Every structure is written in C-alpha cells, then in structure tokens.
Amino acid sequence: MPSASRATYCRWVVNALKALGPSTPKSVYEWIRKNEPVPAADLSGQTADGENLFKKEVRFARWKMRQEGVIVSPKRGVWALS
C-alpha cells in the first residue's frame, strides 16, 4: 500500500499536467518526483509482482481520472487535461 493516498496521486498528476501541458508518462513521473513531496517508501517500494509502486500509483491515478473525464489522451502515449 502506498504511503501517499490515491487522492494525493491524482492531485500530483493534475499539477504536473497543468505545469507541463500534454505530456508523456515519463515527463509526468519526472515532474512529480522533482516538484511534489513523494514519500521515499513509494519511490523505492515495489508491488508483489516487482513493479515500482510510485509508477503504478501514478498510472492508476491517470486511469481513474480518465474514467472520470478529467484526463484525455490526444494521441497514443500522451496524457492531457480535458
């Protein structure tokens, strides 16, 4: 389980996309790492299948907000606010 809440991850993704505009996931990860207080446990943590916890939570936040219509993908591999 992540140290930061899922709502916090959603807020961080929105902040990144506001600052960057339409961006690749890699750019969003980097912006969040540099500009938000991500807990070290999330950055170094892994899921049971060995996936990085931080990246998984960012992707989940993006998926959730896409379901809600907050985020769109104007083209493959790009995230943007709607």
Across the range 58-69, mean pLDDT stands at 97
pLDDT score, position 3: 86
Helices 53-67 and 25-35 sit at what angle, rounded to 10 degrees?
110
Three-state DSSP at 81 gives strand
**Tens digit of pLDDT for each residue in 23-52?**
999 999 999 999 999 999 999 999 899 999
- Taking Cα atoms as reference points, which of 19, 12, 5, 2 lies closest to residue 62? 12
Q: At residue 1, does pLDDT exceed 80? A: no
Average pLDDT along the chain: 95
Q: What percent of the chain has pLDDT over 90?
A: 95
- C-alpha span between 50 and 31 (Å, rounded): 23
